[in-house]
Amino acid sequence: MEASQGTLPLNTCHVQKLLLIINRLHMLLHSMALGFLFYYRVCFLFQDQENRVSHLLPWLLVFTSEIILSFIWFLGQAYRWRPVSRFVFPERLPEDDKLPAVDVFICTADPIKEPTLEVMNTVLSSMALDYPQEKIHVYLSDDGCSPMTLYGVRKAWEFARWWLPFCRRYKIKNRCPKAYFSALESDDNDFARSSFYMEDKQKIKRKYEAFKEEIETFRKAEAFSRDSITVGDHSSVIEVMQEDIIDDVDNVKMPQLVYVSRERKSSSPHHFKAGALNVLLRVSAVMSNSPYILDLDCDMFCNDPTSARYAMCFHLDPKISSSLSFVQFPQKFHNISKKDIYDSQLRSLFTLQWQGMDGLKGPVLSGTGFYMKRVSLYGNQANEGWTDLLQLREYFGSSNEFIKSLTQNYTSVFFPGRNTLLEEPHLLASCRYETGTKWGQDVGFLYDSVVEDFLTGFILHCNGWNSVFCEPSRPQFLGTATTNLNDVLIQGTRWYSGLFENGISKFCPLIYGSLRMPLLQSLCFAELTYFPLYCLPLWCFATIPQLCLQRGIPLYPKVSDTFFIVFFFIFLSSLSKHLLEVFLTGGTLHNWINEQRIWMMKSTTCDLYGCLDALLKKVGIRQASFLPTDKAEDDEQTLLYQNDKYDFRASNIFIVPMLALLTVNIFCLVVGVYRVILVGDWDKMFIQVALASFIITVNYPIIEGLVIRKDKGRISQSNTTLLHH
């Protein structure tokens, strides 16, 4: 296939040289300071025996915490070794008839937590991509097997016959109906002042309002409330939206839209989202078998219709296409508040770490917003040219039609309207199909972790595949960020449990990865898996120095000691480097403070619970679980979030530890300062006083939520009562 017209490149990659120099200079200076810190700690072992014995336990705890922090810091420097930025030239792509087809995968599981209208907006935006319509095939997986969702798909198909021609006719940029018709979206196309455009817009808006009303009416129906909330055993349901004739609609080209609800049995593992994606991978293979796949979360709508063309600028580049598995776009969100108090945009991840990995062998697979080469998910066996049918069935299952789809010249026998041919997709969506195969192990999205995206991307890199990170100026996809503390911490617990689980499994990046990929790349993966270990040093630094402060036990050098400069430099170096990175990525001082704050909150709660959960699953005490994040909008929560007020209506398992640590710091600071004033040893206790003061200052919103605030998002008195008990 042609990669470009003429000799002009489809994309370019530039190393960010100034940032590279700053990063490496900081690594050198910070590493030297850490070396002096370790020297200071080791020298303690050679002090007089009486002093060493009385202070040994707290000293060892603090030293161990410093080692853990330094270890995580060291791993994280791999991101900063070679940051790059990429630019694409979609106008240089070949003609539309030479572009490859794309299958779009969208997964939903709960019509309550993931409102149907929001899901349908994502479906409609993906159908309206600026790409040859006959080469787009959209598959919606509904693990809830909800009549609400199926009804929504049917109605979305009807509305799409009006919406898609409107978007093409007027070259609409935002092709998500909800976002387009919102007050925030302005008309910035060439037809904005045309009376025909305004008439058409009002006509389509009436159609959209009718579409919304139909879904809302069905939602209120008794059948939905009775049948769709609790998911039991059920057979697979597959429905292809048909070309029904609708009055007043021109003969428009429509992408294929398929509803898929895989078979569910309580006796068979369903493997959460990875299982749903693998069903879509198989079903789509015998229906459309597009060489590339776009995966989207159900709330992550297409904000710009050009993403497929941007991705093809990499996939069709002959210099990198043979080893390129996926193109990852950043996750961005439409409902982020100005100060982003929960760091829901994950600024560090998508504006720093992924760019850094892109300068090595490519970023981590991030769950949504990626265009993947289908064949890369079939394992290395798919490229070995096997002809033994028994070997192929051992890997891919019993479907001869699916095995035929592995060949490059395969043409699907499926045609819309011939429902008898859906027997093969039903077989591929059955519970028994994967039994005795390599699905979820060597083939498809992997099952050994609840963060299937991380593990799948990691193994792809281990198998020799690469990836690239593409971040155009206009966000290609926009999702719905969590806007309350409880959901943020629940989501974090699930992520950190899955990540740490990989770190203590056979897929440990430092062992399994370092043997199969470049060292720096394996360090990046390792930093993600061991990031939850921040909970250990943070709990130590938030308790041990404070308790020692009130008892007069020094754990740090005196202000007059030369080594005081070392500790002060390390503290200042870490904070200032973080602040610089926030500023360089368009953040503000408020963003920096809020990131420090939410990092501390997460480290003391969901990091800890995530590590414990992973350990319990490792020894077989717990089983893996997956709870979808609530995407339903709550006006009260949204108002608090937009006003930058923390919503402390969270579970006690999150609130009580934060209150406990804050109480310890306040009490020990008051007692410790009183004692220091009486004794007069400010010199040797200064760092411990400053540390307690810093923790209290950073966590001021907790004090505010407990003492000052009177709104519904304040900390409940029941939390303080529980703490006293």
CA distances from 369 to 14, 296, 439, 473 (A): 23, 5, 23, 15
73, HSE (Cβ side, Cα atoms, 13 Å): 22
Q: Which two tokens stand for residue 546?
A: 């404070």
CB 373 within 8 A of CB 464: no
CB 648 within 8 A of CB 705: yes
How far apart CA 154 and CA 150 sit, in angstroms, is: 6
Other C-beta atoms lying within 10 Å of the C-beta of residue 642:
14
Residue 48 labeled ligand binder? no
Choosing from 130, 142, 143, 343, the catalytic residue is 143
Q: Does the annotation count 453 as an active-site position? A: yes
Residue 297 labeled ligand binder? yes
CB 402 within 8 A of CB 506: no
CB 689 within 8 A of CB 676: yes
Q: Which two tokens stand for residue 311?
A: 């991705």
Other C-beta atoms lying within 10 Å of the C-beta of residue 345:
19
**Residue of 322, 604, 311 whose CA lies nearest to 477:** 311
- Positive or negative, the CA dihedral 401, 405, 409, 415 is positive
How far apart CA 399 and CA 286 sit, in angstroms, is: 10
- Positive or negative, the CA dihedral 683, 684, 686, 687 is positive
Name the residue with tokens 């459309």: 288
Is residue 106 within a helix (H) or strand (E), and if so which, with residue range?
Answer: strand 102-108
Beta carbons within 8 Å of 511's beta carbon, 6+ residues apart: none
Longest dimension (CA), the chain: 94
DSSP summary character for residue 480:
-
Residue 143 labeled ligand binder? yes
**Residue of 58, 24, 622, 716 whose CA lies nearest to 356:** 24
DSSP summary character for residue 439:
B
422, HSE (Cβ side, Cα atoms, 13 Å): 14
How far apart CA 198 and CA 200 sit, in angstroms, is: 5
Q: Which two tokens stand for residue 40?
A: 């200071």
Is residue 85 within a helix (H) or strand (E), and if so which, with residue range?
Answer: strand 84-88
**String of DSSP letters for 503-529:** HTSTT-IIIIITTTS-HHHHHHHHHHH
Q: Does the annotation count 487 as an active-site position? A: no
How far apart CA 411 and CA 202 sit, in angstroms, is: 42
CB 601 within 8 A of CB 656: no
Other C-beta atoms lying within 10 Å of the C-beta of residue 601:
26
Choosing from 142, 358, 453, 607, the catalytic residue is 453
For residue 408, the SS3 value is coil
- How far out from the chain centre does Cα 246 lie? 40
CB 354 within 8 A of CB 469: yes
How far apart CA 32 and CA 253 sit, in angstroms, is: 64
Distance linking the first and last C-alpha atoms of the chain: 70
For residue 140, the SS3 value is strand
For residue 390, the SS3 value is helix
Binding residues: 113-114, 143, 273, 297
Q: Which residues are known to be catalytic?
A: 143, 453
Known binding-site positions for UDP-alpha-D-glucose: 113-114, 143
| Binding site, annotated residues for Mn(2+) | 273, 297
